[in-house]
Structure 1
Amino acid sequence: MTTLTDPSSVDPALINPRAVRLVEAFKNALARMRDEEGLTFDDLNAVTDLLQRIQTATGAPLALVAMPLYSELFQGGRDGYTPSEDVNSPTYLPGSPHIDNPGTLPMRPDEPGTPLIVSGRVLDGHGQPLAGAKLDIYHAANNGNYSGLYDDGVAKYNLRGHLFTDADGRCTFTTITPVAYADPNVTAVDGVVEAVAALGRSLYRPAHIHYEVHHSDLITPWRGEIYFKGDPIIPVDFVGGTLAPPALQADTLLHEDPEDIAGQGFQGPYRTMQFDFVLKTRTSPDTIAPKAGPA
């Protein structure tokens, strides 16, 4: 144990003014919630206790467990551009395999689910294509598991891959249509169902595909999730009911015509999804008029 000559002494060089300011602001925010919303010490205890029990059940870092409380705060890149998350997804794995464009995400021969063909473009604020943009793409399997995170016998990069846009900024890949999922470890925690319902949320996350978009002209890489229009879980998303604004919801279409199915080489109905990213580059205007939907 370190013994200080003067226990009241604090090395000025170790003081972080920003940390001091943020802690004070946080306490002031809690004080306002106490005075204006009736926040009590028991309320704080109830929240922290539940988060700790979820952390114990899942083994996830406490910061990840608490994401439903704050993740919606860190979604930027608006001003008409495709909204981006300013936090790294805990389900991301670096080093995913390269696939062709058009290509297919790595998957098991008997991968459960409905085939999905995804297409779209990556554009700048002037509507010009970003050729050679790298898209890291991944999503959960039909059981809600992400490959490489569990010892479940699934290949590390199952349903994970990256590709590069062509000269027109286009990309196309085939995968399996994601589905809504809930973490069984979380749902088994005593009291979590009631706590989530009290907030008007579901224990499920809506179906989505994760992307990271990298290009030398981008101000910052794009990180986030693309959802499916009409998904009823979006408004009650466990992580946050406003995390999937309309600008992050893709058009999808179910194809059931036998000739169409055979032409694509599938054994049954399949879906298509269209989504365009409009991202801010070093030459893009600060603000653009958002489009009604994908171009």
Structure 2
Amino acid sequence: MTTIDPSHVDPALINPRAVRLVEAFKDALARLRDEEGLTFDDLNAVTDLLQKMQTATGAPLALIAMPLYSELFQGGRDGYTPSDDVNSPTYLPDSPRVDNPGTLPMRPDEPGTPLIVSGRVLDGHGRPLTGAKLDIYHAANNGNYSGLYDDGVPKYNLRGHQFTDAEGRYTFTTITPVAYADPHVTAVDGVPEAAAALGRSLYRPAHIHYEVHHPDLLTPWRGEIYFRGDPVIPVDFVGPKLAHPALQADTRLHEDPEDIAAHGFQGPYRTMDFDFVLKTRTSPDNAAPKEQAA
């Protein structure tokens, strides 16, 4: 019979970084206890609410907890168009390619106001990045992302990718996103009250997700572009730091009947223009002002 030494820990399995991070986390909790009055019951209340949300949605617990910490990792990198630096759980690889200009895949009766989005991808000198790949996607009008639920919606609905032209320009047509909340989360007892106690809404502001890839970029850019003036931005459930002013684009509503007909729409439509100014291997430390990067 083999005797097991209960005090033995294999030195080869010890991860010094993990040890250091756990100790630092406990030190941070101790400071919150001493300086802010954090109690054991406070921690239990948070974990209990997170567990209820996980049970209601079936989503991974790490995703449910993301609103608590994701904004800590939203950088700005080198002072250019900031990104959230956090991989989105709503991303799906291998979306279909669309022409430039083109239209994101959508159902024939896709609800929503048509939206034409255009802009350029530029380096820190204001020079175009030709052939940059943009992965583009957003939620439908009911707040659902295609391919994540067994709801009968085509897998790549409102998802696609395109490449910038010689001037770094991209253009695509979609429908205008709207603010949304997860109905499973809003139905959990205590969640609306907890959000309100923090001065937050359970809704996310309208936004479009992008991933930008190009050989000259230091790293692929991942982030969300919002709509300037959206009243949900300051009370975003995920965190207001996500909607940095540099990530908010102006939109314009077009209601002229002749203009509408010329674009092939049945009713009013919107346009949005947004330039990405991204750090490349040859970019300066500071980006050229946007008004010069045209």
TM (norm. structure 1) is 0.96
1:27-38 → structure 2 map (5 Å cutoff): 27-38=26-37
Contact 1:80/1:289 (8 A) holds in 2: no
Report the equivalent of 2:196. 197
- Displacement of 1:15 in angstroms is 0.9
| Percentage of identical aligned residues | 87
Contact 2:125/2:293 (8 A) holds in 1: no
Report the equivalent of 1:206. 205
Report the equivalent of 1:237. 236
Contact 2:227/2:251 (8 A) holds in 1: yes
Give 1:21's aligned amino acid.
R
Q: Aligned equivalents of 2:278 and 2:3: distance in 1?
A: 53
Any idea what the Cα deviations from partners look like across 1:217-237, whole Å, max 9, x if unmatched? 111100010000000000000
Secondary structure in structure 1 of the residue aligned to 2:152: coil
Give 1:288's aligned amino acid.
A
Contact 2:127/2:293 (8 A) holds in 1: no
Any idea what the Cα deviations from partners look like across 1:165-192, whole Å, max 9, x if unmatched? 0011000000000000000000000000
Report the equivalent of 1:90. 89
- Displacement of 1:288 in angstroms is 2.9
- List alignment gaps of at least 5 residues for structure 2: none
Contact 2:180/2:205 (8 A) holds in 1: yes
Any idea what the Cα deviations from partners look like across 1:12-48, whole Å, max 9, x if unmatched? 1111111111111100110111111110000000000
Contact 1:247/1:293 (8 A) holds in 2: no
- Displacement of 1:50 in angstroms is 0.1
Q: Aligned equivalents of 1:293 and 1:196: distance in 2?
A: 41
Report the equivalent of 1:186. 185
Report the equivalent of 1:286. 285
**Mean CA deviation greater in 3-12 or 63-72:** 3-12
1:4-153 → structure 2 map (5 Å cutoff): 5-153=4-152
Structure-2 change in CA distance of 1:155 and 1:66 (3 Å)? same
Secondary structure in structure 2 of the residue aligned to 1:136: strand
Contact 1:254/1:269 (8 A) holds in 2: yes
Any idea what the Cα deviations from partners look like across 1:229-278, whole Å, max 9, x if unmatched? 00000000000022101000011100011111111111100000010001
Give 2:239's aligned amino acid.
G
Contact 1:80/1:290 (8 A) holds in 2: no
Secondary structure in structure 2 of the residue aligned to 1:85: coil
- Displacement of 1:290 in angstroms is 5.4
Q: Aligned equivalents of 2:20 and 2:163: distance in 1?
A: 43
Any idea what the Cα deviations from partners look like across 1:143-181, whole Å, max 9, x if unmatched? 000000111111000000000000110000000000000
- Displacement of 1:289 in angstroms is 5.7
Q: Aligned equivalents of 2:233 and 2:35: distance in 1?
A: 29
Q: Aligned equivalents of 1:293 and 1:176: distance in 2?
A: 30
TM (norm. structure 2) is 0.97
**Mean CA deviation greater in 53-62 or 76-85:** 76-85
Structure-2 change in CA distance of 1:56 and 1:216 (3 Å)? same
**Mean CA deviation greater in 280-289 or 36-45:** 280-289
Report the equivalent of 1:154. 153
Structure-2 change in CA distance of 1:137 and 1:249 (3 Å)? same
